[in-house]
Structures are given as structure tokens and as C-alpha cells.
Structure 1
Amino acid sequence: MNVLRNQLNRHLSEIENYQVGIKLKSTKSNPILNQNQNQNQNQKLKQNRTKRPFANVTNNINVQQSENIEIKNRKIYQKKTVDKIKLKQNPLSSIPIPTENINMEISPVTKFTFQQPKPQYKDIDKDYKDDPQMVSEYAPEIFEHLKNTETDYVPSIDYMEKIQKSITPKMRKILVDWLVEVSQEYKFHSETLYLAVNYVDRFLSKFSVSKSQLQLLGASCLLIAAKYEEIYPPSVDDFVYISMNTYTRDNFLVCETKVCNALKFDFTVVTPKHFLRRFIRAGDSDVMTMLISNYLCELQLLEYSFLKYKPSIISASAVALSRAILQKRDIWDETLQHYTGFQFDDLVDCMKDLLNIYKNADKSSCKAVYEKYSNPNLCSVSKLKLPDNL
């Protein structure tokens, strides 16, 4: 019995071994089965992986291959990052850092705010913004235009030598002195006087005039200026009267026509009076400064030699000299420099000439301007004593 039992067990084991061998052979020889098994394994791996954006959009056959590539790239990126850190740290580690005499206190943080530098000059127009007559909004442009055009209608500075044959600077001075008296008689504005003198000089710069016709020329120019500037100008008959009937009405009309044609009807001209008010305001001046400045500007009308100076130079020099006469602390400050456009050195020559005629005004035979400003109503500025340092 035992022998039969042993033989049966041996045959059963052989049968099992034979079946196992058949399975192994079938597995190796069936590639489709192997592929299906691999796909099942890949699907299990995908379910276990954490999902990423677009992770499902893959080729299942190349999933394993793409994972290997991502892992490799991640490793390379980490290595590069480590290398960069090492490169930044290595040079610093070799630099010696001194530790002695170092103040480790942290100073408080100060706030910095940018501020535009304030202008050094005073705005002389801001107090007149509500006054429509002062047109403060346009004042800078107006006076810039006046400075640009002040030399457009000026007389020749040497017409006495080149044009006139019988007229001298002394005769001109007598004529202007008479025009000052007539202006006072009719209470003309000072602007009218400045215009009349400009018209006379411009006419004499073009045409030669005899001695007998000089007064007629002056009176005609004053009449034209009065018609231009005054609200109620005098008539021609009034001027016939003030000439003591030396000239007739027809004489005045003919001379007036000649003057208008010679000047080409350009009656709007720049004079020192245009700048004087603004320059006085720029100096923040008082009444005395204003009166002395006006006195100096009218005095220079008598002098033929002042034709070489521009109107703005004369006005600025008159303001500077009046401040010097009154012993002002700052004769020429930054505000005056800004609004006049002149440095103090630009005015020195004109100031010297003004000072000279100021000193000799009481000794001159032509005293109309001197007597006008000796009136107490005008503070008798023509009689002021000059400081010793002038």
C-alpha cells in the first residue's frame, strides 16, 4: 500500500510541474497579455499619483517615460539652484570684514520731502490781481514786449552832427524847457511831454530845420502828442495864442502834416515813463523815491546826450539813483534785477550822468523842470541835499 501511495504522489507532482511549465511558456510567448498587464499596472500608478493640470492629457504608453524625464529635469533644476547659491556665497566668504571701531547704533530714519526752491524776487503783481486796470495777469508779457520794441522808434543819437546845420543841443534844451512850461500850463500828463520830445527828435533825425521854425516844430509835436494822449486836447487856436501869434493857424496845420508824414503815423512809442511805474513798484518804493525818479527822468529830457541810452536804462538808473539819494539799505536788490533785466553794473554810466545833471539843475538857465519839482506839493525833491558819499 505504501508503495502505491508513493507512486501516486510522484505522478501528481509531475502533473503539477508540467502545468506550471505550460503557463510559463504561454506567458512568455503571449506579448498581448504582457501589454495588457503593463497597462493595468500603469493605470493603478496613475490613480495613486497626485493630479496636476493637464495630467490626464497624456499618452498612456509613454507615461513612464515622461515621468522619468520630469524627475530628471527636477533634479537638474535643484542642482543649478544649489550651484547659484554657492557662487554667491563663495566670493563673500573670502572678504575680510573689520570689526573694530564700528558704531553699531542705528540712526533714526529721516523723511526727505522734495521742495522747489523759492524765487528770490517778490511777485509785484499778486496784490493787483483784482484790479482790472492793472492787468496783472498780462503785465509780464506786456513789459517784455515793451523791452523788445523800445528801440524801434528812437531818434538818431548824432543827428545834430549829421543832419542839423543851424540847430544846436543848447537850442534843443531851450525848446524842451518851453514844452515843459506849456505842459504845466495845460496840465498835460507827463506821458504827453515824453511823446512830444520823442516826436521832435525823430523829425530832427530826418530833416534839417531852421532856427525860426524850431518852436513851430515843438508846438506841433506837443499838439499831436496831446491829441494822442489827452482826453481833452487843446485846439490849434490855443497853440497860436501860446506862441504869441508868432505862427498862424495855417502854419500849425502844415507843420502838423509834415510831422505825421515824417513819423509815418507811428505815434505809439516806448518812453522811460512806460517803465518807470513798474520799476518803482519793483523796488517797493515810497512816495519820495517815486518823486525823485520822476524828477530825474524829466531832467534828462533836456539833455541831447541822453539819446544814447535806451528808455528802460534811463528808468532803471533813475530808480537806482533815487534809492541811493535816500540812503536805502539795498540800492539794487534781486527783485529790481529781475523786473528790470539789468545788473547794477549796467546802470553805472547812466547813473553818473543823471547825478551830474541833478547837481547842476539849480545852476542851469533852463529851470522849468527844477521849479516844477521844487513845489511843496511834490515834496520839493529838486532841492534835496545829496549825501556826502555821492
Structure 2
Amino acid sequence: MKDNSTVYSWMPPSGISNIYFIRKRKRLFVIYRERLVKMPFPRGRKPSASIPKHHANVPGMENQEDAFHVKRSPSSPQGAPKKRSAFVDITNANKIQASNHTKKEKSTKKIQKSSTVAVKNEANLKKSNSLRSEGQPELVNSPKLVKSPVQEPKASPSEEPAKDQPWQVPEEFDIDKEHRGDCCMTSEYAKEVFDYLKCREEKFVLQDYMHTQPDLNKDMRGILVDWMVEVQENFELNHETLYLAVKLTDHYLSSIVALRESLQLIGSTSMLIASKFEERSPPCIDDFLYICDDAYKREEMIAMEVNILQTLKFDISIPVPYLFLRRYAKCVRANMETLTLARYACELSLLEVELVPERASRLASACLLLALTMKSLGGWTPILEFHTGYTLSELGPLVRKLHSIVACPSDDKLKAVRSKYSHNVFFEVAKIPVVDIQKLEEALK
């Protein structure tokens, strides 16, 4: 301001955000520049000619004439903007009564108006009838006032007595009843959530794609997944991040032809995308470039991220077996050691390209059944069959495949998963003796 003795404060009208003024949209500023109001300074405060801190770095705000001042109240502390409530004070009985009285007056006026219109319509009808009786022709398609009999309002389908809905869980199979009222557990619709995830996984069913990759083989993919397990452990990422990253890698490789030189770039970029999707504080690109030993440039990883997202059409919310495994373990109240043993078998399955076509819910069910058999905690119960939707005969071949993977791995060089679950944090479940094949067959009968 040129005149330091006078300060002009500009307040945007209702519905106009300050961001328009910061961006200096000339048209908007010209329209509302006349709303400058002459505001006195609070007592004991001198006019400041400096630019506010939150506008100091905004381009085009270097001059004093471009800076605007927020309207301040003298009663507020340190001249801060006056606080206001975001919602109407619903505890004020006087305001409620006044609003109710106003609504009643409006409704009364509407009723009077509608009755007046009805009287006028009846008068017009009598007039038209008298004209027709005098010999005037009747107008074609002329509107007629027909009094319809008053009918009782029919009950809507939602108001009909509730029948047995297909999603209602029998009381003996209700595993969420102990969490009723806990908003964090969402027990009221937990069953529907997992039913939706199970239906959604049908969209992401893959086939063995290695025959379409002339420069890759299953051993290279196993090495990549083993490295991704180490990355997840070093960065202390969630297990869902690892499973989602492997899924993203498989879906991308099933859609394009990749070279072996770019395989690690694909895996690390998939970890970056999955971290952004699952983690609260994901690692940055520089962390993944460092973990790749600077084999790739920053621009290459950004370009690969764009390619993966565009190839998958940005649909990366893929159901993973880790989610189903926690849900199914809750059905039998499995302890943490049994659940960790099932997770160990499930994480070993990520290394096998033959298990890529398996659905996440079916893989989780088979891993849990194998863990229950190894811990001698019983077989496949009716409550598990209800929540998973799989019978014992449907899980038999997959359980036998997982048993062979846990008993004798296909590649001894891939040790990341075994060393990870040999730690006492994971109850050293990798050191638990594998169940005998005869005992397993008896459990599968």
C-alpha cells in the first residue's frame, strides 16, 4: 500500500476461495477489487508493510500491492482470524423452535395455496361444462380434472418383513458377533466385504505366462521374488505390500514381453507402487534406486511406473491371499504361531510360477489346512467350509502341492523366505518338522 496510514483489507465474497486471488486470476480480481473495505488497525498494533509468510514464496507476490491481508478481529488473540463453528449449534433450543415454527408456517402456506388452486380448477371445470352444454365443441386433448379415490400408501419393498437374506450368517457360524458395536472391526458387514473380494478375484485370474516370455524363465522369476522378500524385510514393509507387488509383477509380465535386463526394474517398481497403495509412509524412489545398487536411473523407474499403471489400467486393488488367511484363521481361533505357519507356506508359494493361476482365497484356505494338520489341530470344519466356500476335496490337490514345497523346495538357492521365518519373531516356524504324507492323506479324507 502506498499510504501507510490506511490499510485496506480484501475479503472474498461468500463461496469465493482465497486460492483464486493467490493464483492472480485477473478477471476475478477486477470484478471484486471494488470490495476493498477500509479497516482500522487494532489498538496497540502498527501497520505492517511486509508480505505475509504464507505468501512470501508465491510467485507474483513480491510487491506490496499484490499482497492482501486477512480480515482480523480485535477480540481474537494476537489478531488471529476469528474462530467459527463448522456446524449449526443444534443444542440451541430457541433456534430449533424458531426453525420449526418457520417450517410450520411454510407448510401452512403451501396447503392454503394448494387448496386455492383446487378451488380454481373446480370453478374452471364447471365453467367449461356450462360452455359445452351451450353447444361449444370440446377441445381435443383438453386436460380433465379427475378425482382419484384416496388409496392407502403401499409399503415399499424395504419396509416389508425381512426374509432370510442370503448374506445372513447362521448363529453357529457367526465369527463377528463378539465384535458387535466395534466400529473398527466393521463386524456388521465383514462377511459381505470378503464375499465381494472373493467375487473380485475372478477378474484377476492369470495363466502361466512364461511361454510368452522368450527371454525369461521361471528361475529368473523365483530369484526376483526372493529378492523382493528381502526388500520387504529390509524396509519393514507390510506383508500385504509384498503380496500385492508380486501380483502386479505377474499381471504386468502376462501383458507385455520383457527383457531380463529390465526384470529387476519391474519388480522394484511394483514394490514402489504397492508401497504407495498399502503403506502409511512408503519409501521414496531414491530408496528403491539404492536397493537396486543404482542399476537404473530415476527417469527409468518413473517411466516404468507409468507403463505398469497404464498396462493394468490403474486397477491395482487386487485381492491377496494374506487378507483371506487372517479371516479364515479367525474361524477356528487359531493362535499366532499357527497363523504364522500358514503364512510361511503361503509366502513360499509366491516363488512358484505354477501357483500363479491359483485364486487368493483358495490358496489361503489350503495354507491354513496344511498348518492345522502340521499342528494337529483338526481338519476342515463346517465353519471353514461355510466362510471359504471350498470343500475338503477341492483343496486336496493344492494342499499336497504346498506340502511338497514346504518339505523340499524346488531351488535351494532361494533362502530369503526360510531365513525370514526361522527367526524367533516368527516363532521359528520354518524349523517345524513337516507332517508325514500318510497323516496328511488321512486329514484329507
Q: What TM-score, normalized to structure 2?
A: 0.59
Partner of 1:338: 386
Give the root-mean-square deviation of aligned CA atoms: 1.6
- Look up the SS of the partner of 2:203 in the other structure: coil
Partner of 1:48: none
Partner of 1:387: 435
* CA–CA distance in structure 1, aligned partners of residues 390 and 291 of structure 2: 42
For residue 119 of structure 1, report the CA deviation from its aligned partner: 5.2
Instruction: Identify the match of residue 323 of structure 1 among 365, 368, 372.
Output: 372
- Look up the SS of the partner of 2:245 in the other structure: helix
- Say if 1:363 and 1:148 are closer, same or farther in 2 by CA, change over 3 A: closer
* CA–CA distance in structure 2, aligned partners of residues 365 and 377 of structure 1: 23
Partner of 2:228: 179
Q: Tell me whether 1:159 sits opposite 2:209 in the alignment.
A: yes
For residue 150 of structure 1, report the CA deviation from its aligned partner: 0.8
Query: 1:79-90 alignment to 2 at 5 Å?
Result: none
Name stretches of at least 5 consecutive residues in structure 1 with no aligned partner: 1-117
Partner of 2:267: 218
* CA–CA distance in structure 2, aligned partners of residues 141 and 286 of structure 1: 25
Query: 1:58-69 alignment to 2 at 5 Å?
Result: none
- Look up the SS of the partner of 1:158 in the other structure: coil
- Look up the SS of the partner of 2:294 in the other structure: coil
For residue 244 of structure 1, report the CA deviation from its aligned partner: 0.6
The answer as to whether partners of 2:173 and 2:386 remain within 8 angstroms in 1 is no
Q: Which runs of 4+ in 1 moved over 6 A?
A: none
Matched residues, number: 270
Instruction: Identify the match of residue 350 of structure 2 among 301, 304, 316.
Output: 301
- Look up the SS of the partner of 2:376 in the other structure: coil
1:66-108, CA deviations, whole angstroms, 9 ceiling, x for partnerless residues? xxxxxxxxxxxxxxxxxxxxxxxxxxxxxxxxxxxxxxxxxxx
For residue 361 of structure 1, report the CA deviation from its aligned partner: 3.9
Query: 1:250-261 alignment to 2 at 5 Å?
Result: 250-261=299-310
The structure where helix makes up a greater share of residues is 1
Name stretches of at least 5 consecutive residues in structure 2 with no aligned partner: 1-168, 441-445
Partner of 2:180: 129
Partner of 2:362: 313
Query: 1:240-279 alignment to 2 at 5 Å?
Result: 240-279=289-328
For residue 120 of structure 1, report the CA deviation from its aligned partner: 8.2
Query: 1:88-99 alignment to 2 at 5 Å?
Result: none
Instruction: Identify the match of residue 280 of structure 1 among 329, 333, 339.
Output: 329
1:196-244, CA deviations, whole angstroms, 9 ceiling, x for partnerless residues? 0011000100111001000000000100000111011111111111111
Instruction: Identify the match of residue 401 of structure 2 among 342, 353, 362.
Output: 353
For residue 386 of structure 1, report the CA deviation from its aligned partner: 2.2
Task: Please identify the structure whose Cα radius of gyration is greater.
Answer: 1
The answer as to whether partners of 1:121 and 1:338 remain within 8 angstroms in 2 is no
Partner of 2:10: none
- Look up the SS of the partner of 1:150 in the other structure: helix
Q: What TM-score, normalized to structure 1?
A: 0.67
* CA–CA distance in structure 2, aligned partners of residues 270 and 313 of structure 1: 12
The answer as to whether partners of 1:361 and 1:370 remain within 8 angstroms in 2 is no
Partner of 2:194: 143
* CA–CA distance in structure 2, aligned partners of residues 147 and 372 of structure 1: 29
Letter in 1 for 2:284: S
* CA–CA distance in structure 2, aligned partners of residues 165 and 333 of structure 1: 45
- Look up the SS of the partner of 1:308 in the other structure: coil
> Percent same amino acid at aligned positions?
36
* CA–CA distance in structure 1, aligned partners of residues 379 and 358 of structure 2: 21
Letter in 2 for 1:283: V
The answer as to whether partners of 2:226 and 2:351 remain within 8 angstroms in 1 is yes
The answer as to whether partners of 1:159 and 1:204 remain within 8 angstroms in 2 is yes
The answer as to whether partners of 2:208 and 2:353 remain within 8 angstroms in 1 is no
- Look up the SS of the partner of 1:313 in the other structure: helix
- Look up the SS of the partner of 2:173 in the other structure: coil
